[in-house]
Amino acid sequence: ETGVTQTPRHLVMGMTNKKSLKCEQHLGHNAMYWYKQSAKKPLELMFVYNFKEQTENNSVPSRFSPECPNSSHLFLHLHTLQPEDSALYLCASSQDTDRGFEAFFGQGTRLTVV
């Protein structure tokens, strides 16, 4: 049990499909994050939620739509993606966004857009 669980682990979708990634944390944290990890690039922060409120959208295209219904769950809704969106999508949580609290990560969803 990692504390942060992501489903599915792998996802293959066509460019016209709609799918959702799910993240759940059992750590009692208040902040949740979506990161994109592409080969040979630094992890890119996509979205930040703190106490269920979105506090940062890092210029992410609208084909990615986050949802945070409560502090324990975070979704990333996907629609009309492009092949360059293929990557590992990591969810993380932390106690808060302040004061250097460490982030705990899930195992990621490997997304392939065909």
Partner 1 sequence: AQTVTQSQPEMSVQEAETVTLSCTYDTSESDYYLFWYKQPPSRQMILVIRQEAYKQQNATENRFSVNFQKAAKSFSLKISDSQLGDAAMYFCAYRRNYGGSQGNLIFGKGTKLSVKP
User: Is residue 2 involved in binding partner 1 (CB under 8 A)?
Assistant: yes
Whether omega before 42 lies within 30 degrees of 0, making that bond cis, reads no
User: Is residue 97 involved in binding partner 1 (CB under 8 A)?
Assistant: yes
User: Is residue 107 involved in binding partner 1 (CB under 8 A)?
Assistant: yes
What residues from 72 to 91 belong to the interface with partner 1 (CB under 8 A)? 88, 90
Alpha carbon dihedral 41, 52, 59, 76, in 10-degree steps, equals: 60
Q: Residue 6: in which H helix or E strand, if any?
A: strand 4-7
Residues that bind partner 1 (CB under 8 A): 2, 33, 40-43, 45, 48, 50, 55-56, 88, 90, 92, 97-108, 110
